[in-house]
Amino acid sequence: MTKDDDDWERLPGLYRAFDLPLLLEESLVWRLEDAGRTEDGQGLFAVWVRERDDG
């Protein structure tokens, strides 16, 4: 059984690479997408999560 795209929940805001470890939880599946760059050139990411489908 697979999850639909409707099962993804977008976290509010945009995140830099060094923010990502603060968000991680083992029980979730993560999707990251490039969301541009800051004025000083740091990459920004949009983050979506969903519950893991262990079945």
Residue 31, pLDDT score: 95
**How remote is the C-alpha of 14 from its chain's centroid?**
9
**44, pLDDT greater than 90:** yes
Per residue in 3-37, pLDDT (tens digit) is 566 789 999 999 999 999 998 888 899 999 999 99
**What DSSP designation does 30 have?**
E
Pair type for strands 28-37 and 9-10: unpaired
Residue 2's pLDDT band (boundaries 50, 70, 90)?
Answer: very low
Dihedral pair phi/psi, residue 21, rounded to 5°: -60, -25
Could you tell me the pTM of the whole model? Answer: 0.79
Query: Quick one: which of 7, 6, 19 has its CA closest to 46?
Result: 19
Q: What is the DSSP letter of 27?
A: T
Quick one: tokens of 7? 């099962």
